[in-house]
A = this chain, B = another copy of it.
Amino acid sequence: MSTSVSPLAPTDVPDMPAIAGVRLATAQAGIRYANRTDVLLALFDEGTTVAGVFTRSKCPSAPVEWCRARLNAGKARALVVNSGNANAFTGKTGRASTKLTADITAKAVGCKPSEIFLASTGVIGEPLDATKFAPVMDGLAARAQAGGFFDAAKAIMTTDTFPKVATATVRIGKAKVTINGVAKGAGMIAPDMATMLSFVFTDAAIAAPTLQALLKDGVTDTFNAVTIDGDTSTSDTLMMFATGKAEGCPRIARVSDPRLKAFKKALLAVLADLSEQVARDGEGARKLVEIVVEGAVSKASARRIAMSIANSPLVKTAIAGEDANWGRVVMAVGKAGEPADRDKLSIWFAGVRVAHKGARDPGYDEAKVSAEMKKPEIYLKVALGLGKGRDRVLTCDLTKEYVAINGDYRS
C-alpha cells in the first residue's frame, strides 16, 4: 500500500481559525493503529444544535444508527470519532459498543449520553472494543481546547494520504461567523472499504431544524456529487454543529431567513471544497475528473447520466490511460437508462468537441486533446440536446494502484 501523498492533493492548506464554543483534542487509543492518533473528541458549549446526513445503505454501521436516533432532539455536547474500526456489521455487540462509548464520554464530559454523537471508520465486522476509550477520555476532556482542526482531520484518517480541512468566514446580520470543516475520504484498511466522514462546525446560532435543512440542501451538489468507485459506505456521515457563540449572532430559525444568504453560500463552498478533496484523494487516483452533463430532461436525469459516466470502469480506465475515449462516454450515456438521443449527443474533452450529433466531430484536433489528457485535471462535458437539465459530478480515474490497494494487501 502506497503511503505517498496523492499527486492531486491541494497545494495550499488554509489556516483554520478557532470556533467559539468548540474545543478539540485527539489521542492514541490503540484501536488498530500504533503511533498515531485515532480518536477525536469535540466538545460543544451548551446550546449547540446539530444536523446530520448519513449513508443510505440498508446496512448502516452502529454509530450511524446511534446518531440517527438522537438527531431529532437537535442538541449536541460532544462528538467522538475513531479511526481503525467502523463498528459496522457488528450486531448487538456494536450497539453495546456505541452505548459504552457514549457512557464513558458522558461521564468524562459531564453531560447526558444522548447528547453525544459518534462516528467510526475503518475495519468492518470486527467488534469495536469501546473499553479502549476509557483510559483516554478523561485526558481528552481535560485537554480539549480551541483550535486544533488540522490535528482533528489527521486523527480521523484511515488510508487517506492527506488531512482534509476547509474554512470560511461570513456575516450573519452584523455578526462575523466562521464555518470549519474536516473530512476523511476514500481509504482502505484490510479487510475493508472506503468510508466517508465529514464534520462541520460553526459558531453561528442556527436552530437544529434549520441547520438540518441547510445541511441536507448543501450535500446534494457536494458530497453526493462525488464518487470514487460507486461503492457506498456503511458509515458515510456528515454532521454539522452550530454553537451559537459568535458574538452578537442573531438566532436563525428559518431556512428562508435572508440573513442566511452569505452563510448558505459559504457552507456550500466548504462542503464543495471538502468533497473535492475527497475526490482528489480517491484510492489510487492520478486524475481528478469533472463531469458536466447538460441538455438533459431534468437535473436528476443529468445527475444519473453523469454518475453513469463517473462510475464506468471503462471510462475511468481510459482516463487513467490518458485516452479521450468518447466511445466509452457514449456507452455510459446509453446505459444510464435516461432519455438520450444518439443523434443529438455532443461530447467535449477539455473544452474540445470530439463528438457531435451522433458521430465523431470531423474537425477535432486530436493532438490538442491528447495533450490535455496528460494533465492532472480532466474536464468532460456531455450535451444531450433534449432540455435544460444540467448537473456536475466529480470523480477520479481507475488505476492499477486502486486494484493494488484493494486487492493486493493479503497476497
**Shortest beta-carbon distance from A398 to chain B in Å:** 6
- A355 lies within 8 A of B58 (CB): no
Interface residue A334 (Cβ < 8 Å from any Cβ of B): yes
- A232 lies within 8 A of B410 (CB): no
Interface residue A312 (Cβ < 8 Å from any Cβ of B): yes
Oligomeric state, in copies: 2
- B231 lies within 8 A of A335 (CB): yes
- A193 lies within 8 A of B314 (CB): yes
The residues of B that contact A213 with a CB separation of less than 8 Å are none
- A403 lies within 8 A of B406 (CB): no
Interface residue A372 (Cβ < 8 Å from any Cβ of B): no
- B403 lies within 8 A of A355 (CB): no
**Shortest beta-carbon distance from A213 to chain B in Å:** 24
Chain B residue at minimal CB-CB distance from A361: B125
- A331 lies within 8 A of B123 (CB): no
- A88 lies within 8 A of B330 (CB): yes
Known: A125-B359, A125-B360, A355-B89. A406 touches B327 (CB 8 A): no
- A125 lies within 8 A of B330 (CB): yes
- A314 lies within 8 A of B191 (CB): no
Interface residue A56 (Cβ < 8 Å from any Cβ of B): yes
Interface residue A129 (Cβ < 8 Å from any Cβ of B): no
- B355 lies within 8 A of A125 (CB): yes
Which of the 9-residue segments A37-45, A199-207, A266-274, A315-323 touches chain B? Answer: A315-323
Distance A58 CA – B311 CA, assembled complex (angstroms):
17
Interface residue A192 (Cβ < 8 Å from any Cβ of B): yes
Distance A62 CA – B85 CA, assembled complex (angstroms):
52
Interface residue A389 (Cβ < 8 Å from any Cβ of B): no
The residues of B that contact A397 with a CB separation of less than 8 Å are 407
Contact of A191 (CB < 8 Å), options: B192, B311, B323: B323
Known: A327-B88, A337-B58, A410-B323. A402 touches B317 (CB 8 A): yes
The residues of B that contact A56 with a CB separation of less than 8 Å are 335, 337
Interface residue A350 (Cβ < 8 Å from any Cβ of B): no
- B403 lies within 8 A of A234 (CB): no
Chain B residue at minimal CB-CB distance from A370: B410
Interface residue A264 (Cβ < 8 Å from any Cβ of B): no
**Shortest beta-carbon distance from A88 to chain B in Å:** 7
Interface residue A233 (Cβ < 8 Å from any Cβ of B): yes
Contact of A359 (CB < 8 Å), options: B89, B323, B400: B89
- B407 lies within 8 A of A231 (CB): no
Distance A340 CA – B58 CA, assembled complex (angstroms):
6
Known: A231-B313, A318-B191. A336 touches B407 (CB 8 A): no
Interface residue A256 (Cβ < 8 Å from any Cβ of B): no
Among A231, A232, A233, A408, chain B packs the most CB atoms within 10 A around the CB of A231
**Shortest beta-carbon distance from A95 to chain B in Å:** 10
Interface residue A91 (Cβ < 8 Å from any Cβ of B): yes
Chain B residue at minimal CB-CB distance from A229: B313
- A124 lies within 8 A of B58 (CB): no
Among A60, A88, A127, chain B packs the most CB atoms within 10 A around the CB of A88
For A222-239 the 0/1 string (1 means CB < 8 A from B) is: 000000011111100000
- B330 lies within 8 A of A89 (CB): yes
Interface residue A411 (Cβ < 8 Å from any Cβ of B): yes
- B321 lies within 8 A of A59 (CB): no
- B358 lies within 8 A of A91 (CB): yes
- A89 lies within 8 A of B323 (CB): no
Distance A333 CA – B56 CA, assembled complex (angstroms):
12
Q: Can you offer 10 A-B residue contacts whose CB atoms are under 8 A?
A: A58-B336, A89-B327, A89-B359, A91-B342, A91-B357, A94-B359, A191-B318, A193-B327, A231-B313, A231-B331
Ordered nearest first, which 7 A-B pairs have the shortest CB separation?
A: A124-B327, A321-B407, A57-B334, A59-B334, A91-B359, A232-B335, A317-B406
**Sample of 18 further A-B pairs with CB below 8 A, known A58-B334, A192-B325, A232-B335:** A58-B338, A89-B327, A89-B330, A89-B360, A91-B343, A92-B358, A93-B359, A123-B327, A124-B327, A192-B327, A230-B313, A232-B331, A317-B402, A317-B407, A318-B406, A322-B410, A323-B409, A400-B403
